[in-house]
Amino acid sequence: MAENADEKYMRIALNLASKGRGRTSPNPLVGAVVVKDNRIVGQGYHEKAGEPHAEINAITTAGKRTQSSTLYINLEPCNHHGRTPPCTQAILTAGIRRVVIGMRDPNPDVRGGGIEFLQSHGVKVEYGILEKECLRLNEAFIKYLTEKRPFVIMKAAASMDGKIATRSGDARWITGEKARRFVHCLRNEVDAILVGAGTVLKDDPMLTTRLGQKRGRDPLRVILDSGLKIPLTARIFNLDSSAPTLVATSHNAPESKKKRLIEKDVEVIAVSTNQSGLDLTELLSKLGKRGILSVLIEGGGTVFGSAIQSRLVDKFYLFYAPIIIGGTKAVDMVGGEGINHIAGALRLRDMKIRKIGEDLLVEAYPA
């Protein structure tokens, strides 16, 4: 079915909004398009937290052409004072006569307030246009807003038989160059990367974003190390990066090692432990309190197992390379005790499968 005009311009607004990925936390991704006489006369998106909202940028580019125009925006305009004034007043001042909204504000304290304000001042408002796409775009913001915890993405790279490393621990490189570039794009969009101490000890990763031409943005690096076993010489503690590194450890970790990490500008926080290791639920709550909207878990199998067992993963990116590793001592994708019965398995929904170079990528959500 062909798209109507409202869907066409809303999709443009969504594409604009996506340009702000990784830059707007703790704010949502928002794009706006001003249309007059079936022509786009202004457009913009929220580029960075603390800077003008999408509506303001679109109105500014349109100038005087906003009179009697239509504004398309993927999220209900704000009607409250935050870092910036309410956008609803700017819409009235600009003379916009119709506003088409993708989804209402998910914040229960303000939901519908922007719509009601505009309608009470004579502006025609329609909402729910491409709502599913709008919800998906801001899935991390919605999770954070409603649960005060980050949206958790699990990324794993495995062989076709589900191994993430050989029996010797070798895992470089299971997937190809295009898949690895895709992962760097993911890093560029999330607020934090999380790995276990085992991954750092085996691979000595940097966990930075390397996209070339200084286009990448490094997220917060979060390392799980209950006993502070990672040596201070590890690359992750000696990076030239603007993003900080945080080590989550147990309450009884050696104080002397904590002090040396702090001296290297590494933040150290203590969390409780459980049968799976460090309590990831508690850690995610602490990350949420500091405004972290999204966390990308990159390994290893023990951390994957703990996150899945605790039902903490909101989205999966699972890469499968066209290789077979084999061996009972090779490292499986998901560690931990596992389940006794198939009925207790975590089922996935909304699966999308595509090729990234030579590898297969399965994108899915927990059911």
Output b/e per residue, 20-41; b: 16+ Cβ within 10 A: bbbbbbebbbbbbbbbbeeeeb
What's residue 2's pLDDT? 64
What's residue 242's pLDDT? 86
Closest CA to 91 of 105, 102, 79: 79
Closest CA to 183 of 294, 29, 298: 298
Which member of 51, 55, 126, 177 is catalytic? 55
User: How many whole angstroms separate alpha carbon 19 and alpha carbon 360?
Assistant: 25
User: How many whole angstroms separate alpha carbon 245 and alpha carbon 156?
Assistant: 21
User: How many whole angstroms separate alpha carbon 88 and alpha carbon 273?
Assistant: 47
What's residue 107's pLDDT? 83
Catalytic site includes residue 337: no
Distance of CA 242 to the CA centre of its chain: 19
Report the phi/psi class of residue 288: left, alpha or beta, with left for phi > 0 and alpha for psi in -120 to 50: alpha
What's residue 64's pLDDT? 93
Residue ranges of the chain whose pLDDT lies below 70: 1-2, 81-84, 213-214
What's residue 1's pLDDT? 61
Global pTM reads 0.92
